[in-house]
Amino acid sequence: MPRTNKQPDNDRIPSSQVAATQAEKAHSSMDRGEQEKKLHDLVQFLLIMDQKKLPIKKLDINKQVLKEHSKALPVMMKLAEEKLRKIFGIELVSLEDKQKGTYILVNTLDTDVDEQLESDPNLTLTPVDWSDENHAKTGLLMVVLSAIFMNGEVMVDSQLYHMLRKLKVDQDVTHPVFGDVKKQLTVEFVRQGYLEYTRQPNTDPPVFEFRWGFRAKKEITKRNCLDFVSQLYEKNPEEWVSQYQVVVEEEGEEEEGSSAS
């Protein structure tokens, strides 16, 4: 980007606007055929990269797909977002904070079979096929996420391991299904964006904290977790006053968000 001469603050055009118009220029400089091709490549690329469950970096998008047209990224991403939603039922999410400049894909469809269908003996097919290993990992994840939520949205590592040990999932013992449990929690789930694992400052020996990761926040609602725990304990969700409060707040935010857009 060419360096502009220093201008007084009130005259400065926000850089996001500059980038946006540059993107539009870059996009319209491509001929129609190329625009279409790049868009389709981009959608395919996003679908494929998301399979690895890692956030997709703008850098890789430019390197592997857009190449000489990387200035057009903002426009192309908007178009790709629309295609993903309309054709595949998938939402493109731009991450913030630490992961700014990366994207993940989140399903907008609920792929579970409804209860009414479950009772039909002729409809035994589950639309989306999961391996046993995946099912088990999701079960573990749900337990961990629920525990963290019920504990006030953060949990110290020793606490979490203590709880899991009671469920016969021991971080020091190779688990028949999960293998190295500690690695599953601190590496795998963190890499995939389900958990956040941070070190508490000034602790020696080091103490770590677990929180929900960006993907968990997008894929699972706090209400899901509270309902899950409520079912386990055969209680009403409202009986957990502070957690229920958090759930209601989250849902209030969601409503505001959707009515604003």
* Residue 102, helix vs strand vs coil: strand
Q: At closest approach, how far in Å is the CB of 77 from other proteins? A: 16
Contact mark string toward other proteins, 166..205, x via CB under 8 A: ----------------------------------------
Q: At closest approach, how far in Å is the CB of 56 from other proteins? A: 12
Q: Which is nearer to other proteins, 122 or 242 (CB)?
A: 122
Contact mark string toward other proteins, 88..127, x via CB under 8 A: xx-----------------x-x-x-xx-xx---xxxxx-x
Helix axes 132-150, 241-260, angle to 10 degrees: 110
- Strand-pair partners of 106: 91
Q: How far is CA 144 from CA 10, 83, 151, 169, in A?
A: 50, 34, 11, 11
Q: At closest approach, how far in Å is the CB of 40 from other proteins? A: 5
Helix %, strand %, coil % for the chain, to 5?
A: 60, 10, 30
Q: Which is nearer to other proteins, 40 or 235 (CB)?
A: 40
What is the bridge-based pairing of β-strands 208-212 and 155-156?
A: antiparallel
* Residue 103, helix vs strand vs coil: strand
Backbone angles phi, psi at 214, to 5 degrees: -65, -35
Q: At closest approach, how far in Å is the CB of 86 from other proteins? A: 6
Which residues in 100-113 are b (16+ Cβ under 10 Å) and which e?
eebbbbeeeeeeee
Q: Please report, as residue ranges, which positions from 44 to 83 form the binding site for other proteins (by CB under 8 A).
A: 44-45, 48-49, 51, 64-65
Q: Which is nearer to other proteins, 65 or 104 (CB)?
A: 65
Cα 161 versus chain centre, distance = 24
* Residue 260, helix vs strand vs coil: helix
Residue 225 engages other proteins in binding (rule: CB under 8 A) = no
The count of residues interacting with other proteins (CB under 8 A) is: 30
Contact mark string toward other proteins, 31..50, x via CB under 8 A: -----x---xx-xxx--xx-
- The CA distance from 86 to 22, in Å, is 27
Q: Which is nearer to other proteins, 47 or 154 (CB)?
A: 47
In degrees, rounded to 5, the angle at the alpha carbon of residue 228 between the alpha carbons of residues 227 and 230 is: 60
Where does this chain bind other proteins (CB under 8 A)?
Answer: 36, 40-41, 43-45, 48-49, 51, 64-65, 86-89, 107, 109, 111, 113-114, 116-117, 121-125, 127-129
